[in-house]
Amino acid sequence: QQPVQSPQAVILREGEDAVINCSSSKALYSVHWYRQKHGEAPVFLMILLKGGEQKGHDKISASFNEKKQQSSLYLTASQLSYSGTYFCGTAMEYGNKLVFGAGTILRVKS
Amino acid sequence: DTEVTQTPKHLVMGMTNKKSLKCEQHMGHRAMYWYKQKAKKPPELMFVYSYEKLSINESVPSRFSPECPNSSLLNLHLHALQPEDSALYLCASSQGQALQGHPWLGYTFGSGTRLTVV
């Protein structure tokens, strides 16, 4: 079951903040976030496990609301290097089946 | 070594050809994956190997045949493909299961093989 991501695309100026959402109609075991730049492989950002936690590193953080089966990725004080397509990936059970959402295209302008 | 290496980077093949994609990692990861990605779409899971055994096959047509000869190597054998199979094929690996309280470093993806079927 593919998770639903929103928005589909967002354009920011450097220094602005953004939030990307990912939701599922099924109970989730984990939510992953990846960033893929054009022509490159997806790069792992973070994982959130059921238990409703919030994680972060640098100016990128994420939360997982287990009751709503929803995760949000927060990008603060965006930099040009944040540009790319952000995918959430969800797993419904303890296992290796990760299904990616359709992606959110983020473009940061100077 | 923190990389997943995929070869070849580009492949053009005819519909009657047989070819293979290769993926290698030396991070000690015990789970390896094949994903297919079309332009402007998310990666789609094809196969999962866990401890060298096929654990997930996402109803992939038999013209795609995976093989895991050892814990570091993953192959995808291709035969009688169709033009619609043209895509970027990504290999990934991971430590195993993600557990609360244990650091988990995510999937490491290779840079992919861009396949064109003519």
- Flag whether pLDDT at A94 surpasses 90: no
The three-class DSSP label of residue B18 is: strand
Among the partner residues B45, B50, B104, nearest to A98 by beta-carbon distance = B45
A34: contact with B, CB 8 A cutoff? yes
pLDDT band at A92 (very low <50, low <70, confident <90, very high): confident
User: Greater confidence, A91 or B115?
Assistant: B115
Distance CA A83, CA A103 (A): 13
pLDDT by residue (tens digit) across B64-102? Answer: 999 999 999 999 999 999 999 999 999 999 987 666 666
- Flag whether pLDDT at A40 surpasses 80: yes
Closest C-alpha among B16, B19, B17, B21 to residue B4: B21
pLDDT number for residue A28: 87
B66: contact with A, CB 8 A cutoff? no
| Beta sheet of B4-7, edge-to-edge order | B4-7, B18-25, B73-79, B64-70
Lowest mean pLDDT among A16-20, A61-65, B102-106: B102-106
pLDDT by residue (tens digit) across B8-45? Answer: 999 999 999 999 999 999 999 999 999 999 999 999 99
pLDDT number for residue B103: 66
Q: Considering chain A, what is the average pLDDT of its residues?
A: 91
A38: contact with B, CB 8 A cutoff? no
Cis peptide upstream of residue B8 (ω within 30 degrees of 0) = yes
pLDDT number for residue B23: 98
pLDDT number for residue A105: 98
- Flag whether pLDDT at A24 surpasses 90: yes
